Structure 1
Amino acid sequence: MTTAATATGAEGAPAASTASLHLLADLEGHSSRAWHLAWNPRMPVLASCSGDKDVRLHAYSFVSTTSADGPSTSKQPTFNLREVIPTGHQRTVRQVAWSPDGKILATASFDSTVGIWERIQDIDGTTEIDGDANGAGPLALSNGGAHVDEPEWDCVGTLEGHESECKSVAFSHTGGVLASCSRDKSVWIWEVQPDAEFECLSVLMEHSQDVKVVAWHPMDEVLASASYDDAIKLYIDDPSDDWFCYTSLTGHESTVWSLAFSPCGNYLASASDDLTVRIWRRLNADECETHGVKPEGKMAGRKGEKWIPVNVLKGHHDRTVYSVSWGIDTSTRPGNLGRLASGGGDGRICVYEVTASEDDSKQLFPDVQLVAKMERAHGSADVNCVSWAPASLNERVGATAKIEELMEDGETPKSRDGKGVSHESMSDMLASAGDDGSIKVWTLASSPYATAKK
């Protein structure tokens, strides 16, 4: 049996030759450090927040490139400032989060509150998304994604209760629950109700120090939180009682700043002040029995599981690792578990490919290879956040598609020719936020975006 102790010895090894990242966009405008960013999962909008208390919304479209031989089939993303939201928060906006349907934006602020924002429908009647007659043209908000004169997003509520700085906010995968955390050592869980009403379901006081981040599992209603106390907590809801912490993950030697679940949900990455990124693996009840470990979180209707440490990525950052993001990788390599990105106080962004072992049932830790690295991504400034673009939104949508259609539940919109659209290009984009106040969008050197001729 491969034990957890043995598995933690696996490190992310650098590739023989590590490529740099290719810059696609440099979005300036924040007058203070940019703390966080979030891609809307249903609309072509990228949100960022800052110490200047504003949220900036950037719309993007995909424009066909041209060469000496004429138009190319390659497309380049083009970003334009759509709106600046003066949030009214009294202090820094530390984090932003979209609901899964893209209809609600939540803002977590150092003023101890969470702002809830909704889009004002049909302000000027121009809510169409531009595209050519074949449905393969640019995906953009009306007016080509340009700045709008009237506000499109309005504050419909403020969640109060935290006694100190609110550090993080996140929606569950269904959008039915919202979590927030604070310097007051608490994690709050809110039920999302109709008409922008939120009811507090639980206040969890499991951490002994400032709680830095909350993150939801991509498929199950499992919540993770990380703290200044160096620990990670996992929570579930007991329908007959209340939300509770069913396990603690320890091993980091300093503050845990960021968490990211893998797209498949079987792994969790954590970034820390101890200069490492750690990967944890979930063993289901059957795997627990195979490996002789006792499952946790077992109750009526739930078999339980066990999260174990399997990889420690070290030597890639020489200052605090502030952020980690786990995105989809569309390559067909066997055992593909996606791409992991990390950013930190050394100004560096690292990208890793994560691959399951050939005998995944026995060798529990995946192979992690560093495939790209960007030094001084924001000049001499810290990198506070990295985030892969979502696979839920693609670059080809019919010319007559409206934002409201994109935001409705149901199938992903089809192009006008009736064909589905690939998310390969979207998943190649990685955004970062830095202390220099800028938001930058990157892609890998192997991406079609990096190799397309303008």
Structure 2
Amino acid sequence: MDVDLPCKLELVSDLPGHDERAWQVAWNPTKPLLASCSADKSVRMYSYRPSDHGSRDLSFSHVRTIPTGHTKTVRSIAWAPSGKTLATGSFDSNVGIWEREDASDSEDAGETTGDWECVTLLEGHETECKSVGYSSSGTLLASCSRDKTVWIWEVKPDADFECMGVLMEHSQDVKCVAWHPSEEILASASYDDTIKLYVDDPSEDWFCFSTLSGHKSTVWSLTWSPRESYLASSSDDLTIRIWKRVEEHKWRSVLELRGHERSIYSISWGVGKGASENLGWLATTGGDGKINVWEMNETQHIKDPLTAKLLASISGAHGVGDVNSVSWCPRPDHADLLATAGDDGSVKVWRVVPS
């Protein structure tokens, strides 16, 4: 661990339970729920609450395991903005859409009765689905696959979905899809070392308007900044790149970060804590088992508009195994919390605290 850093990562909760590697974690945007998915084909859900009245300490407890019925690894999960629907992307090539029977709007929805059921199964990908994601409006769902395609689905009432486009811009396996936090712009990352950006043209349907090149190996993960128009990407080339929107349809690389010795599998950009003028905190993790947290700040320089300061770092976060996913809690009162999923089958929750 880096002892001279201003902050450290404190373990809040260790949540074992998956029989095989845990691939991804996802915080429910509206309720105190955390979900994880695994090679064991299941989704596990955990609820959390203050340990004592008025306490900042949180207590996490397992409340549900969904067997899913997928015939292979569940690689990706994504909550709809409403928090009432969960999508699962599987190596069996299908996307499952899950809703809970007798869903309650109470804060403790994670602990009420009512099983989660698969209300729709989206078929179309020819092979492994690697990533799924809902747009900020909740009206669109994207999925991507080893078959080199990105699919965009329109979300309709009564769990009905309509395919709005099959995008075949990448020349290799597509690893990740990520929606802009406020606009209907979709980004995808691929084994072909590039990032593609897509928008909807009312007359021509969805199309790729930009290709971001610069990484020298597989691009594993993407995350948008909570404020302003920045996109972060992580790669097999051991770098994180930050891309800035300089015109409506033009982006350029403005910052490169290094801090990992092996592939960087997952990144997440949260609002962070502290000074309101900063651009939040970026968490990065991967094959070296390390978690890094960077504070991102804008400058007045046109050439170098962004700076990054390493706030906290921890090694061996999941023992000797890879860390496959990192995600910031979306709740403003817990903006210093992040969750990780690892090859050891566990989910861990961490808090950034002063050293």
Q: Do the aligned residues in 2 keep the contact of 1:319 with 1:345 (CA within 8 Å)?
A: yes
Q: 1:82 to 1:101 in 2, by over 3 A?
A: same
Matched, 1:50 2:31: no
Is structure 2 residue 62 aligned with structure 1 residue 81?
yes
1:40-439 to 2 correspondences below 5 Å: 40-64=28-52, 73-121=54-102, 127=104, 129=106, 140-141=108-109, 145=111, 151-284=114-247, 304-314=248-258, 316-332=259-275, 335-357=277-299, 359-360=300-301, 362-391=302-331, 423=332, 425-439=333-347
Deviation sequence 1:204-236 (CA, Å, 0-9, x none): 000000000000000100000000000000000
- Using CA pairs below 8 Å that are at least 6 residues apart, which structure has the higher relative contact order? 1
Q: Structure 2, unaligned stretches of length 5 or more?
A: none
Rounded Cα–Cα distance in structure 2 between residues aligned with 1:319 and 1:160 = 34
In structure 2, what is the Cα distance between the partners aligned to 1:140 and 1:60? 9
Amino acid at match of 2:351: T
- Give, in whole Å, the separation in 2 of the partners of 1:15 and 1:375: 12
- Separation (CA, whole Å) in 1 of partners of 2:228 and 2:342: 28
Offset of residue 119 of structure 1: 1.4
Shift of 1:364: 4.0
1:36 corresponds to: 24
Following superposition, the deviation at residue 17 of structure 1 comes to 2.9
1:389 deviates by 0.2
Change (3 A) 1:251 1:128: closer
Q: Distance in 1 between matches of 2:4 and 2:346?
A: 31
Give 1:112 shift.
0.2
Q: Which amino acid aligns with 2:322?
A: D
Counterpart residue type for residue 324 of structure 1:
I
| 1:55-102 C-alpha deviation (Å, 9 max, x unpaired) | 00101111337xxxxxxx532111111100010000000000000011
Q: Offset at 1:330? A: 3.3
What is the CA-CA distance between 1:283 and the residue it aligns to? 1.4
Question: 1:133-181 CA distances to partner (integer Å, 9 max, x unpaired)?
Answer: xxxxxx6447xx4xx7x65211001000000100000000000000000
Maintained 8 Å contact 1:15/1:369: no
- Residues 1:23 and 2:11 aligned together: yes
Shift of 1:24: 0.2
CA contact (8 A) 1:182 1:210 kept: yes
Return the offset for 1:32: 0.3
Looking at structure 1, the residues matched to 108 and 286 of structure 2 have their Cα atoms a distance apart, in angstroms, of: 31
Matched residue SS, 1:369: strand
Residues 267-299 of structure 1, C-alpha deviation per residue, up to 9 Å, x if partnerless? 000010101111000113xxxxxxxxxxxxxxx
Cα distance in 2 for residues equivalent to 1:192 and 1:94: 21
Give the root-mean-square deviation of aligned CA atoms. Answer: 1.7
Q: Deviation above 6 Å: which 4+ runs of structure 1?
A: none
Q: Which runs of 5+ in 1 are unaligned?
A: 1-13, 66-72, 130-138, 285-303, 392-422
Q: What is the rounded CA distance, in whole Å, between the counterparts of 1:434 and 1:258 in structure 2? A: 16
1:25 is displaced (CA, Å) by 0.4
The SS at the match of 2:20 is coil
Q: TM-score, normalised by structure 2?
A: 0.96
Is the helix fraction higher in 1 or 2?
A: 1
User: What percentage of residue pairs aligned between the two structures are identical?
Assistant: 55
Please give the secondary structure, in 2, of the residue aligned with 1:195: coil
Kindly tell me: are residues 338 and 111 of structure 1, through their superposed partners in 2, closer, same or farther at Cα, counting changes over 3 Å?
same
- Is the 1:328–1:427 Cα contact (8 Å) retained in structure 2? yes
Give the total of aligned pairs. Answer: 354
Q: Is residue 219–residue 265 contact of structure 1 (8 Å, CA) maintained in 2?
A: no
Q: TM-score, normalised by structure 1?
A: 0.75
Letter in 2 for 1:366: L
CA distance in 1, matches of 2:297, 2:228: 14
Q: Could you tell me whether the CA contact under 8 Å between 2:328 and 2:335 is conserved in 1?
A: yes
Letter in 1 for 2:306: P
In the aligned structure 2, how far is the partner of 1:371 from the partner of 1:207?
Answer: 35
Q: Distance in 2 between matches of 1:110 and 1:171?
A: 19
